[in-house]
Amino acid sequence: MEFKDLENKNTVELIKQKTDLVTKLFDMKMKNSLGQLTGPHQIKSLRRDIARINTALIRKSAR
């Protein structure tokens, strides 16, 4: 996910996408703790995607 793509979305879409990613992150963390996750590096990329969305939301609210 690139930041350019996030700037073009409206606030409602960003919040929905963030909610979906947070849910997915929770599920991945649970699978990782149980030893069922095959790619633990995906957790890091999800956390970064959530941070990008948070940054886009803050920039939109500052306008």
What single-letter amino acid sits at 17? Answer: Q
Burial of 63 (0-12, 13-18, 19+ CB in 10 A): exposed
Give just the sign of the alpha carbon dihedral 20, 21, 22, 23. positive
pLDDT at 54 over 90: yes
Pick the CATH number of 3-62 from 3.80.10, 1.10.3470, 1.10.287, 3.30.460: 1.10.287
Domain spans in the chain, listed from the N-terminal domain onward: 3-62
Q: What is the spatial distance between Cα 49 and Cα 46, in angstroms, rounded to a whole number?
A: 5
- Non-local (6+) Cβ contacts of 55 within 8 A are 3
Q: pLDDT-based confidence at 63, cuts 50/70/90?
A: confident
Digit-coded pLDDT (tens) for 3-15: 889 999 999 999 9
pLDDT at 22: 98
